Amino acid sequence: MTDNAPMVRFDGVRKTYGPLTVLDELCLDIARNEKVAMIGPSGSGKTTVLRMLMTLERIDGGVIYVEGEPLTHMERNGKLVPADQRHLRRVRAKIGMVFQQFNLFPHMSAMRNCMEAPIRVLGLSRKDAEARAAELLEMVGLGDKKDHYPSQLSGGQQQRVAIARALAMRPKVMLFDEVTSALDPELVGEVLNVIRKLGTEHNLTMLMVTHQMGFAKEFADRVCFFYKGRIAEEGPPQQIFVQPREERTRQFLCAVLEAG
């Protein structure tokens, strides 16, 4: 069953903050290895989608499935009940996330940042964790910065460490939450290059919230345009960026292009 199921399925997912509806009955299937870019004005709910999938936010309605298995719920006697910690941790292990502000652990070297969770959570030996961390840091082009602390690295370098750190947990789904928004313009490229490389060399399902329209167009298999808590339009990049069907999409893209 899990083989045919979409990698991630949002089924009528709702999120509210008091009277404010952030996400309204979101239905979205993401296939295995699919690269989905989520664009839209701020406050449109796209970041919330990633945060709910990472279980950083509670959902107020609907169910999220990962490989056919409910994420925040579990089946008991044929009924869906809220998940317990064990279930959450097991399903969450399939998902990794990279944050806008990197969120590296400032008291650990780049290497240690990438080793801590594999040792504590996956039970890797120190030696294995070290080898894996070194390999990943090499892949993101930071083989020579292993022993540097986050404060000794540029924003772009920190973000690449953060990507390596998430990959060290061997997730099946990677979430990128505006990962270049906090970077100086000249550092954006090095991070996008790493993501590009991930897309071609690894079997990863990727969801990214981004304002880099050029990158979304070139990299994504599908683009979802969020507007006021709903997906206003979705389709291949060619459709969204070249021939958007919705007026709102057109307006948003015009505004972004002008600003860019």
Partner 1 sequence: MGGAGNRARAGRLMLWDWNYTFEILPELARAALVTIEATLIGFVLAATLGLALAILRMAKNPAISIPATVFVEFIRSTPLLIQIFFLFFVFPHFGITLSGFTAGVLALGVHYGAYCSEVYRAGFENIPRSQWEAALALNLGIVDTFRSIIIPQAIPPVIPALGNYLIALFKETPLLSAIAVLELMQTAKILGSESFRYTEPITLVGLFFLVMSLVSAALVRLVETWLGRVGRRV
Residue 161 or 213 with smaller CB distance to partner 1 = 161
Binding segment (CB under 8 A) for partner 1, from list 66-74, 143-151, 198-206, 216-224: 143-151
Out of 76, 120, 202, 245, name the contact with partner 1 by CB under 8 A: 120
Question: Pattern of binders to partner 1 over 185-224, x per CB under 8 A?
Answer: ----------------------------------------
Q: How far is the CB of 184 from partner 1 (least distance, A)?
A: 20
How many Å apart are CA 50 and CA 145, to the nearest integer?
A: 29
Out of 31, 117, 134, 182, name the contact with partner 1 by CB under 8 A: 117
Question: Pattern of binders to partner 1 over 73-102, x per CB under 8 A?
Answer: ----------------x--xx-xxx-x-x-
Residue 161 or 240 with smaller CB distance to partner 1 = 161
Q: How far is the CB of 120 from partner 1 (least distance, A)?
A: 4
Out of 105, 245, 246, 254, name the contact with partner 1 by CB under 8 A: 105
Write out the H or E segment, with its range, that includes residue 73. strand 73-76
**Contact footprint for partner 1 (CB under 8 A):** 54-56, 89, 92-93, 95-97, 99, 101, 103-107, 116-117, 120-121, 149-152, 165-166, 169
